[in-house]
């Protein structure tokens, strides 16, 4: 069964350092989402891509977060500088064409110390 | 903007007992509705979805959910719970007339299954 690949699975970083997460969606999926899930809460959309274009980044803290999907395939989410409040699970999901048929990856658990 | 409320933070049921997890949504038109399950440290898996038509939706792992427009609810049910169902469950709503593909999630209900 096709999967969404994410790496790393776990990341511990110090406050003010830079950190990056990688996501490889299911082959052929045009829509890619990055969600952030704080412990005890549901996932919150950070950014949505359609191919290489950003569709929605209204909840992305743009002063410190950036996301790219240069060739419309895999994607990178970056935080610089990391803050204590960024500790969370970062989930990537993809769908065929924005059709809500999400497949989620296993996520990256970020701890900022 | 759409929103989702899951009133029960934590539910405990005995193995073999029936289960109902509550979900209430807020949205001006007919929403798209979803239930996901998340095991500890893992991503989310889609259990079932409602777009239109029959208001009783069947999903994977023996789960079903019923859309009730008059109550703005989409409760998840299972007639007999197995120990492996212990996990966190998230209800989500999509808004097809605004952002295609974006889902807004509730804060989840943690299910514990007693032997």
- CATH code at position B58: 2.60.40.10
The range of the structural domain enclosing residue B32 comes to 3-114
The yes-or-no verdict on residue A23 having pLDDT over 70 is yes
Average pLDDT over residues A72-101: 91
Give how many domains chain A has, as a whole number: 1
The yes-or-no verdict on residue A99 having pLDDT over 70 is no
- Quick: pLDDT tens for B29-57: 888 999 999 998 888 999 999 988 899 99
Please report, for the domain that includes residue A43, its CATH number. 2.60.40.10
Q: How far is CA A83 from CA A8, A13, A34, A108, in A?
A: 19, 9, 18, 16
Give backbone dihedrals phi and psi of A67, rounded to 5 degrees, phi first: -140, 145
pLDDT at B29: 83
Distance to chain B for A104, nearest Cα, Å: 6
Strands (E), B6-115: 10-14, 19-21, 24-26, 32-38, 44-50, 56-58, 64-68, 73-78, 87-94, 103-105, 109-114
Q: Please, are residues B35 and B50 in contact by the beta-carbon 8 Å criterion?
A: no
Token digits of residue B32 = 């798209």
Which of B78, B38, B86, B76 minimizes the C-alpha distance to B61? B78
**A38 CB burial (10 A radius; 0-12, 13-18, 19+):** middle
The range of the structural domain enclosing residue A51 comes to 5-112
Contact A102 B103 (CB under 8 A): yes
Q: Is the peptide bond before A81 cis (omega within 30 degrees of 0)?
A: yes
Whole-angstrom distance, CA of residue B42 vs CA of residue A104: 9
The yes-or-no verdict on residue B99 having pLDDT over 70 is no
The yes-or-no verdict on residue B73 having pLDDT over 90 is yes
Q: Does B98 touch chain A (CB under 8 A)?
A: no
If contacts are CB pairs under 8 Å, which of residues 80-109 in chain A contact chain B?
91, 93, 95, 98-107, 109
Distance to chain B for A69, nearest Cα, Å: 17
Residues near B54 by Cβ (< 8 Å), separated by ≥ 6?
none
For B94, the 3-state DSSP assignment is strand
pLDDT at A1: 74
- pLDDT band, very low/low/confident/very high, at B70 (cuts 50, 70, 90): very high
Give how many domains chain B has, as a whole number: 1
Whole-angstrom distance, CA of residue A110 vs CA of residue A77: 12
Whole-angstrom distance, CA of residue B80 vs CA of residue B19: 7
Which of B105, B86, B84, B82 minimizes the C-alpha distance to B34? B105
Average pLDDT over residues B89-102: 82
pLDDT at A98: 65
Long-range contacts of B46-52 (CB under 8 A, 24+ apart): B46/A101, B46/A102, B46/A103, B47/B76, B47/B89, B48/B76, B49/A100, B49/A101, B50/B74, B51/A100
């Amino acid at each position: 069964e096709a999967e969404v690949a994410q790496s790393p699975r776990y990341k511990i970083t110090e406050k003010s350092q830079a950190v990056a997460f990688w996501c490889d969606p299911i082959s052929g999926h045009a829509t890619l989402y990055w969600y952030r899930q704080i412990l005890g809460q549901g996932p919150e959309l950070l950014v949505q891509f359609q191919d290489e274009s950003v569709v929605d980044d209204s909840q992305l803290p743009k002063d410190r977060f950036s996301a790219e999907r240069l060739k419309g395939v895999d994607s990178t989410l970056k935080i610089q500088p990391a803050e204590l409040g960024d500790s969370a699970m970062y989930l990537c999901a993809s769908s065929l064409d924005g059709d809500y048929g999400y497949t989620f990856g296993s996520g990256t658990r970020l701890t900022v110390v | 903007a759409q929103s989702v409320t899951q009133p029960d933070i934590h539910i405990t049921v005995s193995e073999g007992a029936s289960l109902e997890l509550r979900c209430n949504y807020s949205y001006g038109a007919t929403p798209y509705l979803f239930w996901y399950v998340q095991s500890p440290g893992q991503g989310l898996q889609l259990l079932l979805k409602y777009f239109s038509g029959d208001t009783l939706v069947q999903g994977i792992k023996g789960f079903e959910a019923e859309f009730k427009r008059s109550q703005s609810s989409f409760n998840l049910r299972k007639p007999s719970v197995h120990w492996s169902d212990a996990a966190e469950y998230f209800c989500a709503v999509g808004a097809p007339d605004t952002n295609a593909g974006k889902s807004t999630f509730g804060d989840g209900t943690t299910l514990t299954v007693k032997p």
